[in-house]
Structure 1
């Protein structure tokens, strides 16, 4: 567990470079034993989720970012399979609505934050505003921002302000009881190609593929640069990034679950303890029930 966390964690003390991170790394695990390992991890996470929900003091926000076909949906489905839906909520962010564009770029994400005691999962997130918007700055022009009239206005200072807004947003959340885990699923360009081809070959997967996916693939280097910059600018000790190898989905799921388990354990969760008066009332209630 410790090796996975240390290898993949990017915090304030790190300088992140994608070239240093293998997309097919598996840390000595094998596909054959991955099922049992994942099952054990999920069971332990489920137990801690119950304590999180019962205590109702902290929240956990899990963010997934990745290139298309990196396996975000699969990771969420497999690693969160043991969670109680009552204490968990998943949001998948698409293009912002007209109402979203009438507010600042963090507004719709703030609305989707988990309440105390719950786990919130964001499939894509506020980071799209420094990723896809960085690669396609013309999107920013549609956000009707004061002082932004043309592409020349979207300069380095503009992006630095966005990174700062994100850091402040996440710092505010952590100070108020929300622990943040940020996963970047690091898939290779070759693996993405193979997954696209599999989607095209299977009719039941066609809904997951768009011709626009191929167009976006042509911006691969731009996206890698955008991710590298965003992770370096927003990886903090309180809200670190975890860069997870994504070419082997079975290992991706183990790595994510391992990190989730450790983060929940570090919260030092405890069930609420009743005071003497409430305990006495429980005893009285038990006697009444026995006497029925």
Structure 2
């Protein structure tokens, strides 16, 4: 993508042409695609969600492509909220979410991408990863479980893996939901204070919060190393929940509109049938 001043995605989209990725240079409170008020943004998201439902139906009928959406971000960055707002209007037929947790003992006995490959989309399917294989180049790096050499090998393996998917007509969209440390503090406190949300809080969230700067650097390295033309990264300012949803829905619509989607050819014999 040409990086001109007229490109609204300029500071946010990384597809391999950038020498450096700086999360500090991207304001988590920015609203580059906002139409004005929170209410207006929500209305636009609702309209986009309906349009995306139609596009997903066409995508599923077409069956020539696959779609993998990666949602990455620190705790409380809004992965679940994105799923509800952007994908919630779509039919369950052809749409699937995978929420990744720490690997099991059996999964750890294989290479780190083994369990991921089982869950990639099939023809005509949308799959959304709530967290992803990128956890294996973030958490172990911050906690010191793997060294720089192993991280570099994993970055290369991820690029090869995603190239394999792309060469089999998988459209890959990777979103890093970028929130500020203060916004995370507020959202964690809301979880603690609300009995209906308290189950989502884990004490480990506070331990990871102590490593905030380390995680930011780990994200920068991961994005820099794995931003490719076939699997670009979009850093989404996510302090605003409505704008986060708007930006992701806009990117998703653009990706689907860029495909030559079409319904299968009609059977002329079916067209003449009259149901009694």
TM-score, normalised with respect to structure 1: 0.88
* CA apart distance, 1:67: 0.4
Mapped to 2, the partners of 1:72 and 1:114 lie a distance apart of 19
Asked whether 1:192 is paired with 2:184, we answer yes
* 1:53 matches 2:60: yes
Corresponding residue of 1:8 = 12
**1:4 deviation in Å?**
4.5
- Counterparts of 1:267 and 1:100, CA distance in 2: 35
Number of equivalences? 268
The alignment partner of 2:265 has SS state of: coil
Gaps of 5+ in 2: 1-5
SS, match of residue 96 in structure 2: strand
Contact 2:70 2:131 in 1 (8 A): yes
Q: Deviations over 1:205-263 (max 9, x none)?
A: 11010111111100001100100000000000110000001101010000010000001
What CA distance in whole angstroms lies between the structure 1 residues aligned with 2:10 and 2:57? 27
SS of the residue aligned with 1:204?
A: coil
Partner of 2:74: 67
Aligned CA distance change for structure 1 residues 92 and 4 (closer, same or farther; 3 Å): farther
**Counterparts in 2 of 1:18-57, with a 5 A limit?**
18-27=23-32, 28-29=34-35, 30-57=37-64
Cα offsets for 1:127-174 (capped at 9, x unmatched): 011001111133xxxxxxxxxxxxxxx433221111000000000000
1:236 to 210, 213, 228: 228
Counterpart selection for 1:169 from 130, 148, 161: 161
RMSD of equivalent CA atoms = 1.4
C-alpha distance in 2, partners of 1:251/1:272? 35
1:282 paired residue among 262, 270, 274: 270
Instruction: Say whether the 8 Å CA contact 1:4–1:255 is kept in structure 2.
Output: no
> Displacement, 1:98?
1.8
Deviation at 1:283, TM superposition (A): 4.2
Cα drift, residue 5 of structure 1:
3.4
Give the number of the structure whose alpha-carbon radius of gyration is greater: 1
Contact 2:141 2:147 in 1 (8 A): no
Q: Which residue of 2 aligns with 1:201?
A: 193
Alignment of 1:233-272 (within 5 A): 233-272=225-264
Larger helix percent: 1
TM-score after normalising by structure 2:
0.93
Gaps of 5+ in 1: 139-153
- In structure 1, the residue corresponding to 2:45 is in which secondary structure? helix
Give the aligned partner of residue 85 of structure 1: 92
CA contact (8 A) 1:23 1:186 kept: yes
The C-alpha deviation readout for 1:53-91, integer Å capped at 9, x for no partner, is 001110100001100011111111111112111110000
Q: SS at the partner of 1:197?
A: helix
In the alignment, structure 1 residue 108 sits paired with structure 2 residue 115: yes
Aligned to 1:128: 135
